[in-house]
Amino acid sequence: MVAYDFLVGGVIPLLFLVSAVRNSDAEVSFTMVLSVALYFCVMGAAVWAWSGNDTGRWVLLFGVTCVALQWVNNALQVLSASQIMPGDTQRRMGVIFRAAITITLNWWYFNRKSTVRYYKQAKRYRKR
């Protein structure tokens, strides 16, 4: 799940954002800068959680949740626009569905007993 979060919550959106900015004449907005910072936060937290750190697990969980909520917000903004391209509604609904699945799977996985036990065990092991 950590590798999935690293790729889907960090690398892939970052590459799409960089590609969109390079192919556009628009200025880089503050929202884009925050998005890049959030993607780097998710990637860093994924590496941190992969090492078995419990705090990294929580930072990753909240970071991925923020990224997924950002996907939902962006999709809703496009859907509320006055002129929607044909087929864009289904695509945006798919983004909202994937965001909901990502949030659900992450909260389920990182809070199930065996995963919590692993991170707590790793925390005790490092204290020795």
Grouped pLDDT means (10 residues each) for the chain, 128 residues: 90 89 82 90 94 92 95 90 80 93 95 91 67
Residue 22's pLDDT is: 85
- Residue 125's pLDDT is what? 65
Which H, E and C letters describe 44-94, residue by residue? HHHHHHHCCCHHHHHHHHHHHHHHHHHHHHHHHHHHCCCCCCCCHHHHHHH
- Residue ranges making up the domain that contains 74: 2-127
Per the structure, how many domains does the chain have?
A: 1
pLDDT at 123: 67
Handedness of CA 41, 47, 52, 53 (dihedral sign): negative
